[in-house]
Amino acid sequence: MRIEEIDKNFITAKLGEHEFNFREAWQKPFVLSGLAWFDKEKVWCRLPQASLPFQNDGIKALAWNTAGVQLRFRSNSSKIALRVSLLMPSNMSHMPATGQSGFDLYLGVGSRKTYVKTAVPPINTDHYECLIFDRTESAELEFTLNFPLYNGVKKVEIGLLPGADISAPTPFSIPAPVLFYGSSITQGGCASRPGNCYCQILSRHLDFECLNFGFSGSARGELATAEIIAGLKLSAFVMDYDHNAPTVEHLQATHATFYQLIRKKQPDLPIVMVSKPDVDLNPEICAQRWKIIQKTYREAVANGDDKLYLVDGRKLFGKKDRDACTVDGCHPNDLGFFRMADHLATTLRKATGLR
């Protein structure tokens, strides 16, 4: 990128012994993904502002969590600093602060990204800064920074060494985003860091933009959310809200209707239906839920839907050491999330046309 194309609106400040030029994360040529309405509305929210009054109270609050959000760019800066202002300090008892409020950095292009470092948020503060990348030699590299899963941001600044070049990242292999709609598990609870949420693992391995519509305890198959999803251009939609349907009866009343609204508006959209993974504590109830999801799928296929896929959530944690996959019998740890992503990858590859 030519130097005159770079946004020169930066603040110079020291972090430790090094001086950096700090730019806000929304500035070009940085590229934000995971926020479908940011370019238009300039707010750190996963939903459009006009839709919030029609959402339940949980979604109204959780929409401001930055699950699935990424910042991507190329640079030859040998050191990169991060300055963050969060919505709140870390306060979760069963999830690491690094997952709730941290950022993690990956290096590489396409599906060949590798983990570099996590920005560890201090306890009892909503501001922090750190050196998140540090090498002795400069070379042009591509960076991906994953945002917090269970916190929001007021301001994010990236510091590069004075004189360093910046340019836009390589486009995703899959041209349109994949959207995941579901529970606290979908949102990323309780990954140790943002890149280990199953949605982000899939985004990294298959190289697509992730729109994370995981809303802890609040994704109940409401049509107000289905309308938003149906209005987006997507490569695939993963329908994973079984866990948040409060009863079997609620799932029965909403599952087919939610699917049908989206299918009516997007007849060619690949849709992946998933049931909950943490079935061991209540196998009988979970079996009833699974039958409801199967019914929606089978009736749709019988009516000619050839863009529909079904994943049995009971298989997502695998067979061996299933009890090692969660922190509390419900929310996956990193092992659980990896197994979920590994199992779902085959189906998502088919849905998005990857080989």
Question: The CATH number of the domain where 23 resides is what?
Answer: 2.60.120.260
Residue 281's pLDDT band, with cuts at 50, 70 and 90, is confident
Is 49 inside any structural domain? Answer: no
pLDDT interval class at 220 (50, 70, 90): very high
Helix and strand totals (H; E) in the chain: 9, 16
186 and 162 in a common domain: no
Output the furthest CA–CA distance in the chain (Å, rounded): 66
- Looking at the fold, whether 266 and 232 belong to one and the same domain comes out as yes
pLDDT in tens, 283-333: 999 999 999 999 999 999 999 999 999 999 999 999 999 999 999 999 999
Inform me whether the pLDDT recorded for 7 exceeds 90: no
Q: Which of 167, 196, 215 is the last residue of a domain?
A: 167
User: Is residue 38 included in any domain, yes or no?
Assistant: no
**Can you give the pLDDT at residue 2?**
33
Instruction: Output the CA angle 297-299-302, nearest 5 degrees.
Output: 105
Do 272 and 348 contact (CB within 8 A), yes or no? yes
Indicate whether 336 belongs to any domain: yes
The residue out of 116, 147, 167 marking a domain boundary is: 167
Check pLDDT > 60 for residue 168.
yes
- Examine the domain organization and report whether 243 and 162 are in the same domain: no
221-245 mean pLDDT: 98
- The mean pLDDT of 38-55, rounded to a whole number, is 97
Same domain, yes or no, for 20 and 117? yes
Total domain count for the chain? 2
Question: Where in the sequence is the domain holding 162, given as residue range(s)?
Answer: 3-33+65-167
Asked if residue 341 is part of any domain, the answer here is yes
Whole-model pTM?
0.96
Average pLDDT on 268-275 reads 98
Residues of the chain with pLDDT > 90: what percent?
96
Q: How confident is the prediction for the chain on average, in pLDDT?
A: 96
The DSSP code for 332 is B
Q: Do 199 and 311 fall within a single domain?
A: yes
| 209 and 83 within one domain | no
Task: Say whether both 208 and 98 belong to one domain.
Answer: no
d(CA 110, CA 171): 8
Mean pLDDT, residues 91-98 taken together: 95
pLDDT at 307: 98
**Looking at the predicted structure, is the pLDDT value of residue 4 above 60?**
no
72-92 burial, b at 16+ Cβ within 10 Å, e below that, comes to bbbbbbbbbbbbbebbebbee
Is residue 52 in some structural domain?
no
User: Both 266 and 146 in a single domain?
Assistant: no
Domain final position from 134, 167, 200: 167
Do 293 and 191 sit in the same domain of this protein? yes
Give yes or no for residue 259 having a pLDDT over 80: yes
Tell me: do 211 and 340 sit in the same domain.
Answer: yes
**Does residue 186 sit in the same domain as residue 322?**
yes
Kindly write down the DSSP assignment for every residue of 309-326, as one continuous string. EEE-GGGTT-STTGGGSB
Residues 192 and 97 reside in one and the same domain = no
In a domain, 288, yes or no: yes
Q: What is the CATH number of the domain that holds 221?
A: 3.40.50.1110
Q: Tell me, what's the pLDDT at 354?
A: 86
